[in-house]
Amino acid sequence: MRPVVELSRISRLYAGPPEIMALHECTLTVYEGDYVTVVGPSGSGKSTLLNLIGLLDTPTSGNLRLKGEDVIAYSEDQRARARGSHIGFVFQSFQLLEQRTCVENVMLSDLYTGNTAKESRRLATAALESVGLGGRENNMPSELSGGQQQRVAIARALAGDPSILLCDEPTGNLDSSTAEKIMGLFDRLNAAGRTILLITHDHAAARRGNRTVAILDGALTERMPESESAV
């Protein structure tokens, strides 16, 4: 399997006072087809890790490669293009534009591709169909349930055919029944070949992945599968 994301001794120090070492020499490789879950308490560094992998922040030290490319020295334009080409984001808050239809919200992911509006709409429609929202293209977000709105957000992340989905507590605003359906959708996406990194504080959700990484006080530790750790 080829690496999608490679972190080597990544640290992130936020200047104070007081100084905060949000991540400390973290090393992690995410391969094509992986489903990696990152579990840890609030304030442990989970969101900082996601922001670094998603090129929304830069490390203080260490190395970061995306699809084999060293992205540490990328300019802001290069980072934006890399995000548009390789990374799909799914957040706890759905971050949909209330005055745009579902298909228009999904089309926003296509800003850096250079596709025509017609092609962008076709891809967005296909992405909505892939998450079970075919026929909802012209609905407004306010006309959808919370679970359906999160599906629109997932479709937006998928529309550009990213190399990796980065999911930050994607079920945090959903009831347990709806959350289970969304987690089932991630299971199916991974089974179809999607590479996923999912951040959660929920240990049951973390067990959905094929690999689990624990983060505490900015340090990463990869956990053995439960069946192996119990031996």
**CATH number (domain holding residue 208):** 3.40.50.300
Determine, yes or no, domain membership for 231. Answer: no
Determine, yes or no, domain membership for 230. Answer: no
Determine, yes or no, domain membership for 217. Answer: yes
Number of domains in the chain: 1
Q: What is the pLDDT of residue 113?
A: 66
Determine, yes or no, domain membership for 26. Answer: yes
In sequence order, which ranges of the chain are alpha helices (DSSP H)? 46-53, 76-86, 102-107, 117-130, 146-158, 176-191, 203-206, 226-229
Phi, psi of 37 (to 5 degrees): -110, 140
State yes or no: pLDDT of 227 exceeds 60.
no
State yes or no: pLDDT of 228 exceeds 50.
no
CB within 8 A of 193, min separation 6: which ones? 33
Half-sphere exposure (Cβ direction) of 35: Cα atoms closer than 13 Å: 19
pLDDT tens digits for range 112-149: 667 788 998 999 999 999 999 999 999 999 999 999 99
Phi, psi of 169 (to 5 degrees): 45, 55
Q: What is the mean pLDDT of residues 65-80?
A: 93
CB within 8 A of 20, min separation 6: which ones? 13, 14
Q: What is the pLDDT of residue 229?
A: 43
The residues pairing with 35 across neighbouring beta strands, listed in sequence order, are 196
Report the percent of the chain where pLDDT is more than 70: 95
State yes or no: pLDDT of 93 exceeds 70.
yes
pLDDT tens digits for range 147-161: 999 999 999 999 989
The domain in which residue 40 lies consists of 3-223
Determine, yes or no, domain membership for 76. Answer: yes
State yes or no: pLDDT of 166 exceeds 90.
yes
Q: What is the pLDDT of residue 189?
A: 94
pLDDT tens digits for range 175-206: 999 999 999 999 999 999 999 999 998 888 89
Tell me the torsion sign for CA atoms 112, 117, 122, 125.
positive
